[in-house]
Amino acid sequence: MTGDWLDEIRWTSEGLIPVIAQQADTGKVLMFAWMNRESLALTVEEGYAVYWSRSRNRLWRKGEESGHRQKVISLYLDCDEDVILLAVDQHDGIACHTGRHSCFYRKLVDGQWQAVDPVLKDPKAIYNHE
């Protein structure tokens, strides 16, 4: 596979592109993250989401610690060529490090953020490093 398709993307000045991960079968938005050229190429090559962690300044294979990998079903580039949409199958149905299905679990209700989605698994059980 040639890298020409990577050249069609409008990368940020930091060499990144924003990525939205969406559950393929329901359309539910799971999370937002960033990719660089290498992580996007690896995502396509491996078939599982690989992001760029700005906080860790390194590649981050989704699920590398939790086991909650994202199998990529399809990949889309928006009309402005500056946002990627990943349609994924979320392993175990948990995308968020809080143990929820989606990272977008807080809703603005009467001027306050309220959690509207349940915790499916205690994060302590997900990220047990003992």
Rounded average pLDDT over 1-17: 89
Count of structural domains within the chain: 1
In this structure, are residues 20 and 86 in contact, taking their beta carbons and an 8 Å threshold?
yes
H-only helix segments in 1-130? 4-7, 37-46, 123-126
Q: Give the model's pLDDT for residue 127.
A: 82
Q: Give the model's pLDDT for residue 2.
A: 55
Q: Give the model's pLDDT for residue 3.
A: 61
| pTM, rounded to two decimals | 0.90
CATH of the domain at 90: 3.10.20.810
Q: In terms of Cα–Cα distance, which of 41, 99, 125 is closest to 75?
A: 41
Q: Which domain holds residue 9?
A: 4-126
